[in-house]
Amino acid sequence: MLIIAEIGTSHGGDLLRARELIAAAAEAGADCAKFQYVIAAEILHPATGLVELPGGAVDLYRRFETLQQPQAFYRQLIDACRAAGIEFLCTPFGAESARRLQQLGVTRFKVASPELNHAPLLRQLAGYGKPLILSTGVSLLGDIERALGQLRGVAVTLLHCVTAYPAPEQQYNLRLLPLLQRLFGVPCGVSDHSADPLLVPTVAAALGAAVIEKHITLTHDGDGLDDPIAVTPVDFARMVRMARAAAEARPPAAVSDLTPERLTELQREFGRRRVEAVLGDGRKGLAAAELANYGRSNRSLHALRDIPAGATVASDAVAVLRSEHNLSPGLSPWLLDAVIGAVAARDIADGAGIVWEDLIRRRGHDE
């Protein structure tokens, strides 16, 4: 079982803090420290505006701009992870960050839940042929199936999660792990954003999760975007111990349902109601906490400049971006090729999500 300490951007661009977080993750027993390769323009449009996060409302595009670092910074993170004896893992958000990570010689990639439908990125990563860890929050079964269809021949591990910060533990529906394993035939694990450091990881490990991922922070009072919902090194170490013990208590096998004996042990540890709630019904759908994010935190097609009526939509005039809650979502990224080269039926404003009503489609393209 691989245990990932999600550091993300909590280093704030401070290499000393990054090294402290890496050291804390290693000391707590993590196998891997994960970061995010942030290039603001790959994620959001500048007009995105304020986004509500656990620490309050943030102009997220501007904040991402402050978190951009040169490639040399990530080389130093790789070296620090190597020195600490743990794996370096990083999430790209678009073509350029993926290309730079490939240049750095990473051994595998992590794809975040909002990029599950980032068709161009998935195809680019598939071309590198390296293993992928693919998060599946704020998604439906069809979304997962379509993403995996772009990744044939690539070793993929799915991470079930709830895309909310913090995520309600009772919405985690961990009985999904055996379902996802059976449906897609790939290793499955959990990315846990819930407040409790122990419940979700321990139950997931008892089910046979291949990966456990959880945010780590030096202090909840830090200024990192995820610090309010991350766990401290002490709690992360407790999580590692309990998750590994739960994994070792089951025979080696793929993800499977709990035996009655193991279920009773977990109920004794955490309480019957909590365990039954976190296990859920095993049916894949959107968690209640994710409903408002579907189609908005996922990617869609947005104009990068004003496109006047009658103009042909050029490839550099449209991008695959997250909408968040101030911009209207556009068409699915899977339709990018149909949009490029189409003629604008009406004026399309810079930043707007591009929808079918905006376009005169070319012959031969349809939905």
- Do 224 and 96 lie in one domain? The reply is yes
- Do 234 and 263 lie in one domain? The reply is yes
**Structural domain containing residue 270:** 2-289
Examine residue 367 and state whether it is found in any structural domain, yes or no: no
Model pLDDT for residues 133-171, shown as the tens digit of each residue:
999 999 999 999 999 999 999 999 999 999 999 999 999
Examine residue 285 and state whether it is found in any structural domain, yes or no: yes
| 274 exposure class (CB count in 10 Å sphere: 0-12, 13-18, 19+) | middle
Question: 362 CB contacts (<8 Å, ≥6 apart)?
Answer: 338, 341, 342, 343
- Do 184 and 273 lie in one domain? The reply is yes
Give the phi and the psi of residue 238 in degrees, each rounded to 5: -60, -40
The pLDDT assigned to 222 comes to 78
Nearest alpha carbon to residue 90 among 130, 118, 44: 130
- Do 173 and 269 lie in one domain? The reply is yes
CA 298 to chain centre: 10
3-class DSSP assignment, residue 190: strand
- Do 345 and 246 lie in one domain? The reply is no
Give the phi and the psi of residue 155 in degrees, each rounded to 5: -75, 115
3-class DSSP assignment, residue 365: coil
What is the helix (H) or strand (E) element at residue 234, kind and residue range?
helix 233-248
- Do 258 and 312 lie in one domain? The reply is no
The pLDDT assigned to 53 comes to 83
Residue at which a domain ends, from 228, 256, 289: 289
Examine residue 261 and state whether it is found in any structural domain, yes or no: yes
Examine residue 339 and state whether it is found in any structural domain, yes or no: yes
Question: 237 CB contacts (<8 Å, ≥6 apart)?
Answer: 27, 28, 29
CATH of the domain at 177: 3.20.20.70
Examine residue 260 and state whether it is found in any structural domain, yes or no: yes
The pLDDT assigned to 260 comes to 87
Q: State the DSSP code for 168.
A: P
Examine residue 233 and state whether it is found in any structural domain, yes or no: yes
- Do 319 and 249 lie in one domain? The reply is no
Structure tokens belonging to residue 209:
């999760």
Residue at which a domain ends, from 269, 289, 309: 289
Examine residue 218 and state whether it is found in any structural domain, yes or no: yes
- Do 189 and 264 lie in one domain? The reply is yes
- Do 280 and 331 lie in one domain? The reply is no
- Do 84 and 118 lie in one domain? The reply is yes
CB 106 within 8 A of CB 80: no
Structure tokens belonging to residue 71:
């490639």
CATH of the domain at 319: 3.90.1210.10
Q: What total of structural domains would you count in the chain?
A: 2
The pLDDT assigned to 367 comes to 45
3-class DSSP assignment, residue 117: coil
- Do 121 and 213 lie in one domain? The reply is yes
The stretches in the chain having pLDDT less than 50 are: 363, 366-367
- Do 243 and 220 lie in one domain? The reply is yes
| 234 exposure class (CB count in 10 Å sphere: 0-12, 13-18, 19+) | exposed
Examine residue 352 and state whether it is found in any structural domain, yes or no: yes
Residue at which a domain ends, from 256, 289, 322: 289
d(CA 199, CA 176): 16
The pLDDT assigned to 225 comes to 85
